Amino acid sequence: MGFRINTNVAALNAKANSDLNAKSLDQSLARLSSGLRINSAADDASGMAIADSLRSQANTLGQAISNGNDALGILQTADKAMDEQLKILDTIKTKATQAAQDGQSAKTRTMLQADINRLMEELDNIANTTSFNGKQLLSGSFTNQEFQIGSSSNQTVKASIGATQSSKIGVTRFETGSQSVTSGVVGLTIKNYNGIEDFKFQDVVISTSVGTGLGALAEEINKSADKTGVRASFDVKTTGAFAIKAGETGTDFTINGVNIGKVTYQDGDKNGSLVSAINAVKDTTGVQASQDENGRLVLTSADGRGIKIEGSIGQGSGILNSQKENYGRLSLVKNDGRDIAIDGTNLSAIGMGKTDIISQTSVSLRESKGQIDANT
């Protein structure tokens, strides 16, 4: 709307009011068209600054939500791949169970092992090829990956996915002590069982009495296995050096404090007199006798107490003087494959002292492709 006015005051006022109306009209149209109350700093300088800050935060939060969805997509991709791996592992377990019975011949077991080998190859293939946007997810390289899920710094989450190759699955740590030939009170501690703290078990007596020995210690360890991750087993067995030959025991022949007395036995203990005499008191001694496939005398402590022979068992028994006192071997197992660090007092009584030789190894699923040696 145009006016040309020189001296008409009323007209000048009309023009000024017209300009104000035009400005208000422009402001109203701008608000109507944009849907915003503030369209420029002239509308509300401080309000516009606040609005711009909120708008920036809203945009950033929108991107953060998108980042979170990407993270979910990555984890869902990994989850589906691992679900397929679990199905493969179930099939491997089924085939291993199928092979673990004597209805199978060497040929059929070889065929089952070939199937297992192919399944493990597919397991490794999934682990090595599963990726998201070029990032390997299951190969072990996806560790401490950070996702920005907030509008400000340090508003992040971290995610790690462990390796799922056959060499990393089912990794188990085995540690077995030397055979113990000494008794005593043992105090055992597992060092850094959770990465920080030590775990001390109740002291256990290693002897030939009921409720003592490696059996009692293994029971004490296994009570806390859910917390420490360490399980224990024991083997208290004395095996003669050679097949039983004719001979006789002395009247002072004693096992674990129970006198058995004089027993005459034949080559190979044909009439079973030696084995029967020992087994007649097995409920008291805790020691059971048998013969292995080579005809050697085998003394076994089922509950894990020690085996102590006093007096003369006869040279024909195959039991050497060095074998007359035996408290067995203790084995510790941990499923995460890490070393089992132990400390304590009188550990030589369980074959795990500083001078004892401890057999140790870690075995994973991949070892099922070959043979595990007898020591393992």
Closest by CA to 269, choosing from 286, 248, 299, 250, is 248
Q: What is the mean pLDDT of residues 75-83?
A: 93
Residue range 204-210: mean pLDDT, rounded = 96
Residue 8 burial (10 A CB sphere; 0-12, 13-18, 19+) = exposed
- Contact partners, residue 338, CB within 8 Å, separation at least 6: 173
What confidence tens digit (pLDDT) does each residue in 37-78 have? 666 666 667 776 777 777 777 888 888 888 888 888 999 999
CB 289: neighbour CB atoms within 10 A? Answer: 21
Strand partners, 180: 328
Contact 214, 327 (CB under 8 A): yes
pLDDT at residue 299 in the model: 97
Alpha carbon 10 to chain centroid distance?
94
pLDDT at position 1 is 52
* Burial readout 312-349 (b: 16 or more C-beta within 10 A, e: otherwise): bbbebbbbeeebbbbbbbbbbbbeeeeebebebebbbb
State pLDDT tens for residues 313-334: 999 999 999 999 999 999 999 9
Q: Write down the pLDDT at residue 129.
A: 93
201 neighbors 230 (Cβ within 8 angstroms): no
**Range from 51-60, 116-125, 229-238 that averages highest in pLDDT:** 229-238
Q: Say yes or no to pLDDT of 195 above 90.
A: no
Q: Would you mind telling me the total number of residues written for the chain in this entry?
A: 376
Report the pLDDT value the prediction gives residue 306, as an integer from 0 to 100: 97
Is residue 151 scored above 90 in pLDDT?
no
Q: Rounded CA gap, 249 and 274, in Å? A: 9
pTM of the model: 0.66
pLDDT at 210 over 70: yes
- Binning pLDDT at 50, 70 and 90, where does residue 5 land? low
User: Given this model, what pLDDT does residue 122 score?
Assistant: 93
Output 191 or 4, whichever has higher pLDDT. 191
Q: How far apart are CA 361 and CA 376, in angstroms?
A: 7
Question: What pLDDT score does 109 carry?
Answer: 87
Q: What is the pLDDT of residue 267?
A: 95
Say whether pLDDT at 282 is over 80.
yes
| The predicted structure's pLDDT at residue 35 | 67
Does pLDDT of 230 surpass 70? yes
Q: Please give the average per-residue pLDDT across 276-294, as a whole number.
A: 96
User: Average pLDDT for residues 158-183, to the nearest whole number?
Assistant: 88
